Homo-oligomer: A and B are copies of this chain.
Amino acid sequence: MVKYREQALDQVFQALSDPTRRAIVRALAKRERTAGELATPFDMSLAAVSKHLKLLEEAGLMTRRIEGRTHYCRLNLGGLERAQGWLSFYERFWSERLDKLAEIVSEDG
């Protein structure tokens, strides 16, 4: 099960490592979009975007609702939470750093 989590992280970070996919995530952050809507801003084929969508879905960053012939895509917070979760492990470093800074600042010697 550790394996599972590891692979899920692989997928999320891998998904976020591509600028097109990050742009799609940002677009989805605002509101639900169809595959076609998502594709138009990009200088690449619909087929290429379609593959990105599949990847985002598999990484747990997106869900899809099919209505007739159009695919409505929504942001899935699961993937983002997973990434955040891993990174939050390091928040203590930021805190520690801030603590040290506070110490230095408050030194009255």
- Cβ of A80 within 8 Å of any chain B Cβ, yes or no, is yes
Q: Are A19 and B14 in contact, CB atoms less than 8 angstroms apart? A: no
The interface size of chain A toward B, counting residues with CB under 8 Å, comes to: 27
When all copies of this chain in the complex are counted, the total is 2
Chain B hits for A11, CB < 8 A:
17
Q: Which residue, A11, A14, A16, A77, has most C-beta atoms of chain B within 10 A?
A: A16
Candidates B22, B80, B81, B93; contact of A9 at CB < 8 Å: B22
**Mask of A3-32 contacts with B, CB within 8 angstroms, 1/0:** 000100111011011110010001001000
For the A-B complex with A80-B90, A84-B84 known, give 7 more contacts whose Cβ atoms are closer than 8 Å: A14-B17, A17-B17, A80-B93, A81-B94, A83-B83, A84-B90, A87-B87
Q: Are B17 and A13 in contact, CB atoms less than 8 angstroms apart? A: yes
A11 to B29, alpha carbons, bound, how many Å? 22
Chain B hits for A29, CB < 8 A:
89-90, 93
